[in-house]
Amino acid sequence: MDVKQLKLLNKELSMNQEEYQKKYQEYASQREKVKQDPWRLHYHLMPETGWVNDPNGLCQFKGTYHIYYQYSPFDVEGQTKLWGHMTSSDLIHFKQGEPVLFPDSRVDERGVYSGSAFIKDDTIHYFYTGNVKLIDKEYDYIYAGREQNLVHVESQDGYHFSDKEWLLNQSDYPQEMSCHIRDPKIYEKDNRYYMVLGARSMDDQGCVLIYEGTDLKDWQYKMCITTNEPFGYMWECPDLFDLDHQQFLLTCPQGLPHVGYRYENVYQSGYFPIEIDFKNQTYTLKDFKELDYGFDFYAPQTFEDEQGRRILIGWMGLPDIDYTNPTCERGWQHALTMPRVLTQQNGIIHQSPVEEMKALRQSHTQTTVSNFNDCHLNGYVFEMRLAIQKSDDFILQLRKGAYLKYDQSSKLLTLAFEECGYGRDERHIELETINNIWIYSDTSALEIYINDGSYVLTSRVYSLENEDNIQFIKSHMEATIDFYKLSSIIVK
């Protein structure tokens, strides 16, 4: 691409609020068309039109949950990046807001990339990466030619933002780093603030940079966290937090080779139990564990709500995949996961849907595995909980062409798709035994939690009408089952 083409692309990918509002009016008929799509989800947040990816700026402020997200409202491939915005007081009833941040300035002209929120003294502080690609000549945009600027804005209400402040630029990062440094998240300890940034070094090793500050404005480089041996070439979306007196570092490594049934996706999402001594600039990393083993999970972000819960929301999608989402042809792509509460036991994170999801339960059927098929249950939108007394082989059809299977001899749990996967085939978890399974099925999505949420499988799935029969094809296990039809969240 020559310099002239790059200049045109820069212009196409920038957008201010006035341009957004004009185009939004032009898309009225497209929004009505998208609403009629039977693959629209019932209890997952999704774009009105266009593309959604990373959750950003998650927080609860004065009783209101604010969910921001990477948003390309007018194209399904995620080119122009804004921050979309939804709010809720109960995580069941949502209000669709207007985008709050636009790629409309020198510091973010190629995209308002991912970032986070930090609440202090009745003010929400937002930090994000402003993406800029230089166009004076041709670059590879990995080792040269890209700016990843740290930008700060403030708000007193979560809706109205201050002017953008440019806090760090490429010259403020260590020289041994590439141009890929992004996704700021703030951690407070002992009256000091620490900002984690995902990074890729010049020798292609993934890492997390830590900056230190005392006032949320002036940041000084502190230290770098990485593994002894290379573990991927880039670590995206870092998140540092305490959970039940244990420190965790979440991140999304790119470039991990498959190891048996681990790291089956193109990019991973997971966590390290970690202990950081900021004063002495030392740390201890324990083994990395995947947060989700399904086809469609990436860029999770957590926050602590006003009840003291550590809540995680992830992008129900992945970049650079070799399978497809047929909703693109219908004007929209991707969604966010359900909000999940995190707990930990012995350094293992457990995820479970927020309690508020129980408000969606409607009809209830209680039965056993041996009697399940006689109940003739069907539908795409349901919750199914299995309390397993005897772990053994089973094949559960979740809908036509979608199966959850366990083989006792190989100790292997498999999520398998046929045509409804649109290129998704199988994902696996090695498990000695299964104690319980919680299945959340939506029109075109699945979230499956195993063994109290210590393992999770998240995936999109696309079935046709009248392919919603739920049945055990085979089962030698013993379990009691609670099955609930679910209603929808409300988005206005």
* Residues designated as active site: 54
Which residue in the block uniquely carries the two structure tokens 């499956």?
A: 448
Beta strands at 340-345 and 402-407: parallel, antiparallel or unpaired: unpaired
Q: Is 483 exposed, middle or buried (0-12, 13-18, 19+ CB in 10 A)?
A: buried
Q: Could you give the maximum distance between any two Cα atoms of the chain, in Å?
A: 69
Q: Residues, the chain, total?
A: 492
Token code pair at residue 159 = 């809706």
Beta bridge pairs of residue 262: 259
Distance CA 381, CA 440 (A): 8
Distance CA 176, CA 202 (A): 6
Which residue in the block uniquely carries the two structure tokens 């950081």?
A: 276
129, 148 Cβ separation under 8 angstroms: yes
**Cα 332–Cα 334–Cα 336 angle in degrees, nearest 5:** 130
Distance CA 475, CA 178 (A): 52
| CB environment 165-177: b (16+ within 10 A), e (fewer) | eebbeeeebeeeb
Q: In what order do the strands lie in the sheet with 445-450?
A: 361-368, 478-486, 382-390, 436-442, 445-450, 455-460
Nearest C-alpha neighbor of 448 from the set 402, 407, 482, 415: 415
Distance CA 390, CA 394 (A): 11
